[in-house]
Chains A and B, each alone.
Chain A
Amino acid sequence: MSNKQTLVVIGNGMVGQHFLASLVASPVKDQYHIVTFCEEPRPAYDRVHLSSFFTGTSAKELSLVEDGFFEQHDITLHLGDKAATIDRTAKTVTSSKGICIAYDKLVLATGSYPFVPPVAGHDRAQCLVYRTIEDLEAMAAAAKTGKVGTVVGGGLLGLEAAKALKDLGLETHIVEFAPRLMAVQLDEAGGAMLRRKIEQLGVIVHTGKNTSLITDGEQCVNKMCFADGEELETDIVLFSAGIRPRDELARACGLEVGQRGGIVIDNDCKTSDADIYAIGECALWNGMIYGLVAPGYAMARTVVANLEGNFYSSFRGADMSTKLKLMGVDVASIGDAHARSQGALVYSYQNDANEVYKRLVVSEDKKYLLGAVLVGEASGYSTLLQYCLNGIELPENPEALILPHRSDESVGLGPDALPASAIICSCYNVSKGKLCTAIEAGCTTVDALKTSTQAATGCGGCSALLKSVLNSELAKQGVEVNTDLCEHFAYTRQELHALVRVEQIKSFSDLLAKHGKGLGCEICKPTVGSILASQWNEHILEKDHLGLQDTNDNFLANMQKDGTYSVVPRITGGEISPDMLIALGQVGKKYKLYTKITGGQRVDLFGATLEQLPLIWQELIAAGFESGHAYGKSLRTVKSCVGSSWCRYGVDDSVSLAIELENRYKGLRSPHKIKMAVSGCTRECAEAQGKDVGIIATENGWNLYVCGNGGMKPRHADLFATALDKETLIKTIDRFLSFYVRTADRLQRTSVWMENMEGGLDYLKSVIIDDKLGLAEQLEQQMQTVIDTYQCEWKTTIEDESKLKRFHHFINSDATDDNVVFVEERGQIRPARDDERKHFNLVEVA
């Protein structure tokens, strides 16, 4: 073997793993054989997001270790084997399975264990803790028989644990010793607001309660007795009353530990033995145990720097600011939230109606931000944190930072105001300077920047700030993103839409003459064609519009690879009678079409030639069908489940609503295709949350989801409004769709449209629901115009001789295209492959 030294890491939790990842990224790794012991049966996973385990996240998804990490970096991993003793004289670590490793350097990342108060009965059945995946599995097992769950501890972790109990469907209680929730991070008013919001979610909060005994319950497995004489029946008791450092190994080998536990470390994270480091929740620095992951990560990086010989990079404490979403409630705490600093001044804003509480703690001279509390609305967190951490001078009226602003004025801190040293991502310690270097080196997209710097890949809280730094840097570099639609129009689609609307322009040639140049192209022509259609709704095959139409619109059918077409009649809501189905089958049979069911609950008929299209539609229209617009960038289908008329679980009549919506919006031309769905209950069989517009029935009315899609980059829709009656629902969708049609870019689905919007979902809500721009009436009117002028494009076409002339392969012959060759497969046709076309010769140069 080489002259490599051996480095042993005890503990493969989040911090232990972060240490390994930082180490293997450093050149110093080549000096060490790395060995790690992991007591748990699986390597490091994300404890911060543990409660998502109950909402479908698997143990594998929680994992923080990439497949093959240990093998790739030649790290010996002893999984499910606990380090049992350390012999500092012999410099060895011995595991409980008897493996003995000699070390040169040792890193203790043993973490912490949940503190269980020494209450009588704390070890009874179904008295559990909340830290590992195994703990979660025990909770899930207990929840199968139990109905009530109680968390002891109303801190950060306790609230997370309460969410887990709630997700398991239990009646959930929180019992807290202190007089308020999150007593460490929040002031009294903040704690009260949080309590109010949590209680609204159905969690029962008991504060100022001292548990004195846990004993047999009458209705439940357990009964908790409190010092004030009150009692609480509960099946599960979940202790989440803080953590205690795992320092027993260190204690046993004589390392210095704190009075109340914790392995004492210096600024280099070294213990009292210079060859042994301690990092994370087991370490005691300056009398403090850090129970958050970011300081642990910082310690891990300090050790790597120390091994590299960089003794200037020491651990100097960590910021304990936090921002999180607890059961959907935004909560954030920054710095000195309790205003304990000398002379500190407090500004606070409380809005009981909207359930928002904000508090600023500033220095005596009102120049610097010392701390803040945000409950109910935490969008200002990044800005405030930057003020606080970088000592940036506050604006003249600091209260503006927490007061709601009515106009568009932004009081946010622009990225330019931040110094290069400002830490943007505290999970991975990425400064603004580091981001700027990466941007200069060519990372010009958010994704590239994230991959290159790891910023925003931890908790993700800094992603908005990262994006604004990126945009501002790109603007400084003079990288100007050209937003012109194409060489013919120096406008965006949104601007063209406005021109068409305001100047009442009704044809492409007019628009080109007034605002464009050249002849146009396959980008601007269909875009303008779509704008004209959504604004004036004339038939798209009228003489003025014909040449604008993209491949499929051009012949009102979907062109396939061999130049033949597929036909999709509308089947509203996916409801079809046997007679209609038979009619459809007869047409398919007569024209020998390949038939397939689509994902949108319709039937697609393939292999129709140009001359067959009008004949097919004549029969379909006679049978009562109309165009399905599968060829257009327009509303496709409103998918539905069978709903309350048949389903045992149905809450409302999803089919009727789907049919009504599909009939309302059919024919609407838009920047890209629009898909909708309606589910009759929260089982969500119609997959509404994967659609641009999704509706789910609840006991209280319809819940509206928007901006979801499937396809290449699937995205779940966001909840937009809840408990709507039908009238309000339709009004909201009218506005939403009209606004999308007006303002989206060409070929931009609703998801990307919303994500690129400054202010995102909240802004969209303010425009659509609160009518912030005063556009609502216009948007509704626009939709009504489209609805009132609907026509079945195929019906109009087959009734107009002049339009039908084009539906022949040859303008001067009744011959058909001899390049269209079908073969049979599974009893139906399909286009012949090249090797099957023996008789066909290309037109060659003679």
Chain B
Amino acid sequence: MQWTDVCSVSDLQENSGVCALVNGLQVAIFYLPADEHGVYAIGNYDPIGKANVLSRGIIGDIKGHKVVASPLYKQHFDLQTGTCLEDEWVTVPVYACQIEGGRVQVDTRLIAPLRQLIETSTNAQQEGVSA
């Protein structure tokens, strides 16, 4: 992991989001104190509303997926996969994020949807081969 120090835990808002500038990227960081992971990080840019606002959305869960609802048009983005629940072809970047010694850290190398993309393309290739 290549962690970048972002801010103190006390800078976060409980059960809400903030936006951080990390390695030139706008990252939305959500803080759920009662959750096993505690923090989630995705891109701040809403690809449907086309504005940097996702950190200002309401967080919750829809059918078991932890999500943020875009404050513009209310589409849900999965905090763990970056997928838009209303349109699976729309995704936002997902970043690794953790709390270490009272500090919030982000690794801006994508963990999703890149991994998903690789997985799907690998599967497709394998299917192609077997056919």
Contact = CB atoms under 8 A, between A and B. Distances in A.
B66 A519 contact: yes
| Interface majority SS (helix, strand, loop, mixed), chain B | strand
Contacts of A548: 58
B90 interface: no
B1 interface: no
Interface string B84-100: 00000000010000000
A508 B71 CA distance: 20
B28 to A, nearest CB: 10
Interface in B16-56: 16, 18-22, 25-26, 29, 32, 43, 45, 49-53, 56
A547 B52 contact: no
A243 interface: no
B52 A522 contact: no
A685 interface: no
B58 A547 contact: yes
B119 interface: no
Interface in A511-535: 518-522, 524-526
A526 B60 CA distance: 12
Interface in A24-72: none
Contact of B21 (A554, A559, A806, A813): A813
B124 interface: no
Contacts of B74: 522
A129 B51 CA distance: 67
Contacts, number: 104
A845 B110 contact: yes
| Range of interface residues on A (Cβ < 8 Å) | 35 or more
A123 B9 CA distance: 94
Contacts of A845: 93, 110, 114, 117
A555 B45 contact: no
Contacts of B11: 805, 811-812
Contact of B15 (A547, A559, A842): A547
Given A520-B60, A521-B58, A547-B59, A559 B20 contact: no
A551 interface: yes
A521 B67 CA distance: 8
| Interface majority SS (helix, strand, loop, mixed), chain A | loop
Contacts of A812: 6-7, 11, 20-22
A819 B25 CA distance: 12
A554 B56 contact: yes
B71 A547 contact: no
Q: For A519, A543, A811, which residue has the most chain B Cβ atoms within 10 angstroms?
A: A811
B51 A525 contact: no
A525 B57 CA distance: 12
A562 B72 CA distance: 9
Contacts of B66: 519
A843 B69 contact: no
A819 B45 contact: yes
Given A521-B61, A843-B43, 4 more contacts: A487-B62, A555-B56, A811-B6, A811-B7
14 contacts: A518-B61, A519-B59, A519-B66, A521-B62, A522-B69, A526-B58, A547-B58, A561-B72, A563-B52, A563-B53, A805-B11, A811-B29, A813-B20, A845-B93
Interface of B: 6-7, 11-16, 18-22, 25-26, 29, 32, 43, 45, 49-53, 56-63, 66-67, 69, 71-72, 74, 93, 110, 114, 117
